[in-house]
Each structure stands twice: as structure tokens, then as C-alpha cells.
């Protein structure tokens, strides 16, 4: 029996046992968590509710991901032990998790959940020259449409530009269905948008189904079907579902949520500079303002920047979708400016180092501690450290990167990845603490204390190492700079 026949036979057996068959398309950070979550869902009788088939692309990386899932191993790394446990249990005990690279296998499914990535492309420093190559996504929908069973629903969880569902994806799905001979007037495909809020980190798996979820359908039947599906595995007793009026409203909800957060982060940047110029500590100030619960308690602290796949693009998906698909005005000046402000934030650290070394970074060695986009998360996409490292390399500096979660740093191959923080520090001219991570708070102060030759300058944008460490370094002649802190004295030069 071929791989595809086996996948189909196991799905048929599962359906005969009463399980709902779900195909999850795209086994990246989102799809993996979704597939594992569905596989661990249990009914009142303790039995697995779903039989899950993860479907990836047929390229080398896609084949490796699908094969990992089929073996009972997570296709992506996450520092949430529950992920590997859920996938192993599904692979070895409940046998309700499969992996393959054949999109036609959606023919087995009652529900198709799409977690395909959708990138936004733009030149650095521009928020008005945008493109979203969505043809691949539309082609996948067309292919799904050709094979989708009557009565099955497609639920999209990817973050979509405004209007993509009703202008591109649903028409493509229908086109595929029509090509396969389906009568669209009698039996239109069911389609819903159920955006994902999964949060990488230690609570990765639970953030899919122990969290508020929103959805909308192309029509009432689709919305009802999506609701019934979500209710089977989301903890709706504690996290009630939110039904939006239209697909477009649900698309906008996701984009607004992330644009709001990106704008909050950008807003603090101008006050960071003001605090530095005025000689005050903005961290102390923000802490004092945050006591006003309900209106001010999510004010952001200064930091190196914002990274990851979502906050760096989602506001612009709204602008692109509005202008290109809906052909409506979408100036969005705050949101566009926010993304540009956030993008530039890491380069302030580079500029401080450059200023310290008289404008010359050539041959200076800079050790960067923390390379992923978020503390405790092994995802390096669009990390502020990448922007900083590239900026330093452009100016001729040597970059050493250190991160306990990484064994390679594909985005910045010219940087030297050093596993041992002691080795990273040895002989470094400058140090940047690039993540607000307790891991570095616990280790770096003593390593710096023990280091016979401290760096000439330490930049700690997130205020991680603390005043005791800064005081000690300043006494040893090290220049210490922290974003938003104008209160840290310069070292006294020996007379
Ligand atoms: N990463 C997050 O925390 C997060 C949170 C919420 C929403 N989202 C959104 O979810 C979507 C997916 O994000 P991600 O981080 O998982 O991306 P990802 O790049 O990690 O994963 C996407 C996967 O889809 C696969 N894929 C692409 N085209 C395919 C096709 N035609 N057939 C089968 N597989 C295909 C890719 O090979 C890849 O493995 C994005 O739209 C993202 O904005 C992400």
C-alpha cells in the first residue's frame, strides 16, 4: 500500500470508529500546535475525538515535517514539553495523528484547517511599497476545492490581509470545486475564518484551546459548522467564542489586535529618547504609571525592538488588503509609522556602540546575548538581534552571538555562534543583552564580574542586568547604556 493509501485507510477506519477527521495544512509554528491540540482532544468517554492528518509541502523541508509528525515527533521545536508529549501519545498510543505531503488527502477530511504562512514583502524602511504574494495560497485553496468532501468545512487560521477571504481564497476554493464537477448552487463549499492567537513559549499548546477564539463564516451554515468544530476542542466554558458578522470583520479583528500592540511598542520609543535626554529612568516611571489598572497597566517598557512573524507585518496586511483587494483608502499613519519605528529600534544600540568607538566599528568584537525574537522561544524570524547584527556587520564589526536555544543562526551566517557565554565574552569590546530573559539576568552579572577584561561598553536595552551590576561595571570603567535610562552615570576617566 502506498503512503497515500495508508493515510486514507487509517482515516476511513477512524471515521468508522466515530472520529471526526481533520486535515491541518502547514506544519509550522501554528499548524504543529493546532494538530497536537486536536490530537489530544478527548470526549467524555476519554477517547480521542479527532483523527488528524498534518499535510505539508512536497519539498525537502515539508517532507521532513510531515515525516516527523507521522513518527510521533514535533516538526518544530517548542520549549513547551506538552507539545512533544501530546504528539508522542498520539503517535504511539491513540494512533490518531498522521503526516503526509499530498494536498489531495483533504478528501479524507471533515474539517480542513489551514495554517499556511502568508508573507508580506517590503523594502526595509518603507511601509508604502507592499506586496503579498498570495498566489500560492490561492493555488492551495483551488487544489483543496477539487478534493473537498461535500459537507466538509475549510477553516482558515492563517493571518490574512483584509478582504483575502471573500476576494481571493473562497473564490479559489469554489473554482477548484467547480472544476471537480461540484454544483456550487446546490452544494457550495463551507468556509470559515478562525484566526489563531497561539503564543510561542512555555504555554504554547494550551494557548490554542485555553484561550479566547473568534470566527466568522462565509454564510450562516459555515459559521455554525465552525462554531461546532471549535466547541469540540476549545475550552469554551472558560473562554467563550466570539462570532464576527463577516469574514472581513474577523480578518480586521486579528489585524487590529496586532497593530494595536505594535503601536503601543512604538509609542514608548519617543519617551525613551526623552527620558535619556532628561536624565531620568523611564522604567521607574512606567512602573509607577502602570499602577493605574484598567487604563494604563499595559504601557510598554523600552526595549531593543519587536520581532517575530506577526507584529512586524500584520498592520501592513490591513493596509495592503484595503488598498489592493478592496480598493479603499487605508492611510493608517500611526500603524505604518509604528512598524517603521519598531524596525529601527535595534539600530540605536548599533549607533551607541559606533559613537562610543569614535564612529569606527571595524574590527570591534560585539557579543550579543539572546538571538531569538522572544525570551524562551526558539523562533529567530525577524528578531531585533538580527537587525542589530546585520547593522553591526555592515559597519565592519565582528559579531558573536550566544543563545542557549540555538545551534545555528541561519538568518545571520556571518555572525559567529558561540555556545559558551564565557567564550562569547572573552576579549569582546562590547556586549549587548538583546533579550529580556531571566537566563541572562542570572548568569551575565557574575560572568562579567569574573571577566579579567570587561568590555568597553555594555548596552542593555531591556534593563535586564540591574543597578548593582551596572554600578559595578561603571566603577570598573565600563560605559553602560540602557534604553530609556538617562540616570546611569558615565565612568570616571582616570586622571
Ligand atoms: N507564529 C505565530 O505565533 C502565529 C500566531 C498567530 C497567527 N499566525 C499566523 O499563522 C500563519 C502561519 O504561521 P506560522 O508561524 O506557523 O508559519 P510557518 O512558516 O512556521 O509555517 C507555515 C507552514 O506552512 C507550510 N506551507 C506553505 N504552503 C503550503 C502548502 N501549499 N501546502 C502545505 N503546506 C504549506 C510551510 O511549509 C510551513 O511549514 C501565518 O499567517 C501567521 O501570521 C502565527
Domains of the chain, CATH where assigned? 3-245 (3.40.50.720), 271-495 (3.40.50.720)
Span from the CA of 27 to the centroid of ligand 1 (angstroms)? 7
DSSP 431: E
Each residue's pLDDT tens digit, 265-275? 999 999 999 99
Half-sphere exposure of 207 (CA within 13 A, CB side): 18
Distance of alpha carbon 372 from its chain centroid, rounded? 11
Span from the CA of 30 to the centroid of ligand 1 (angstroms)? 6
pLDDT over 90 at 337, yes or no:
yes
Instruction: Give the separation between CA 391 and CA 387, rounded to whole angstroms.
Output: 6
Each residue's pLDDT tens digit, 418-471? 999 999 999 999 999 999 999 999 999 999 999 989 999 999 999 999 999 999
Binding site membership of 140 for ligand 1 (Cβ less than 6 Å): yes
pLDDT number for residue 3? 74
Q: Which residues contact 79 (CB under 8 A, 6 or more apart)?
A: 201, 202, 204, 376, 377, 378, 405
373 neighbors 382 (Cβ within 8 angstroms): yes
Q: Whose CA is nearest to atom 28 of ligand 1?
A: 116
Binding site membership of 57 for ligand 1 (Cβ less than 6 Å): yes
The structure's pTM equals: 0.94
Q: Taking residues 61-65, what's their average pLDDT?
A: 97
Binding site membership of 196 for ligand 1 (Cβ less than 6 Å): yes
Query: In ligand 1, which atom is closest to the CA atom of 314?
Result: 43
> What is the rounded average pLDDT for all residues in the chain?
96
Neighbours of 182 (CB within 10 A): 18
pLDDT number for residue 209? 96
Amino acid at each position: 500500500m502506498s503512503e497515500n493509501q495508508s493515510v486514507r485507510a487509517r482515516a476511513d477506519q477512524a471515521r468508522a470508529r466515530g472520529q471526526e477527521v481533520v486535515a491541518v495544512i502547514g506544519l509550522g509554528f501554528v499548524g504543529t500546535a493546532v494538530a497536537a491540540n486536536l490530537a489530544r482532544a478527548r470526549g467524555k468517554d476519554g477517547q480521542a475525538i479527532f483523527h488528524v492528518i498534518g499535510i505539508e509541502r512536497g519539498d525537502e523541508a515539508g517532507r521532513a515535517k510531515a515525516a516527523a509528525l507521522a513518527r510521533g515527533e514535533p516538526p518544530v521545536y517548542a520549549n513547551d514539553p506538552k507539545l512533544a508529549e501530546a504528539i508522542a501519545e498520539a503517535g504511539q498510543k491513540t494512533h490518531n495523528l498522521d503526516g503526509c505531503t499530498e494536498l489531495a488527502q483533504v478528501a479524507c477530511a471533515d474539517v480542513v484547517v489551514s495554517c499556511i504562512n502568508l508573507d508580506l514583502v517590503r523594502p526595509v524602511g518603507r511601509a508604502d511599497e507592499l506586496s503579498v504574494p498570495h498566489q500560492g495560497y490561492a493555488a492551495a485553496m483551488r487544489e483543496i476545492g477539487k478534493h473537498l468532501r461535500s459537507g466538509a468545512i475549510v477553516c482558515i487560521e492563517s493571518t490574512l490581509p483584509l478582504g483575502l477571504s471573500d476576494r481571493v481564497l473562497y473564490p479559489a476554493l469554489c473554482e477548484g470545486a467547480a472544476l471537480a464537477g461540484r454544483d456550487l448552487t446546490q452544494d457550495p463549499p463551507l468556509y470559515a475564518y478562525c484566526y489563531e492567537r497561539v503564543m510561542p513559549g512555555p504555554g504554547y499548546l494550551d494557548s490554542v484551546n485555553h484561550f479566547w477564539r473568534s470566527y466568522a463564516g462565509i454564510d450562516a451554515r459555515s459559521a455554525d459548522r465552525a462554531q461546532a468544530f471549535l466547541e469540540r476542542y476549545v475550552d469554551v466554558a472558560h473562554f467563550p467564542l466570539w462570532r464576527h458578522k463577516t469574514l472581513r470583520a474577523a480578518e480586521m479583528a486579528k489585524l487590529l489586535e496586532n497593530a494595536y500592540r505594535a503601536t503601543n511598542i512604538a509609542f514608548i520609543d519617543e519617551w525613551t529618547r526623552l527620558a535619556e535626554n532628561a536624565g531620568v529612568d523611564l522604567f521607574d516611571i512606567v512602573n509607577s504609571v502602570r499602577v493605574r489598572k484598567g487604563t494604563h497597566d499595559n504601557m510598554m517598557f523600552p526595549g531593543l525592538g519587536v520581532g517575530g512573524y506577526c507584529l512586524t507585518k500584520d498592520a501592513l496586511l490591513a493596509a495592503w488588503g484595503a488598498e489592493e483587494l478592496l480598493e479603499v483608502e487605508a492611510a493608517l499613519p500611526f500603524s505604518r509609522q509604528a512598524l517603521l519605528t519598531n524596525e529601527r529600534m535595534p539600530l540605536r544600540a548599533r549607533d551607541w556602540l559606533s559613537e562610543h568607538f569614535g564612529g569606527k566599528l571595524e574590527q570591534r568584537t560585539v557579543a550579543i546575548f539572546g538571538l531569538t525574537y522572544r525570551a524562551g522561544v526558539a523562533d529567530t524570524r525577524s528578531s531585533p538581534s538580527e537587525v542589530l547584527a546585520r547593522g553591526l556587520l555592515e559597519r565592519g564589526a565582528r559579531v558573536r552571538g550566544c543563545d542557549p536555544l540555538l545551534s545555528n543562526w541561519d538568518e545571520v551566517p556571518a555572525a559567529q555562534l558561540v555556545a559558551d557565554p564565557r567564550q562569547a565574552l572573552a576579549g569582546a569590546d562590547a556586549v549587548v543583552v538583546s533579550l529580556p530573559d531571566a537566563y541572562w539576568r542570572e548568569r551575565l552579572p557574575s560572568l562579567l564580574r569574573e571577566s579579567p577584561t570587561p568590555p568597553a561598553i555594555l548596552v542593555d536595552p531591556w534593563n535586564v542586568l540591574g543597578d548593582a551590576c551596572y554600578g559595578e561595571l561603571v566603577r570598573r570603567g565600563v560605559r553602560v547604556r540602557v534604553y530609556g535610562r538617562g540616570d546611569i552615570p558615565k565612568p570616571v576617566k582616570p586622571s
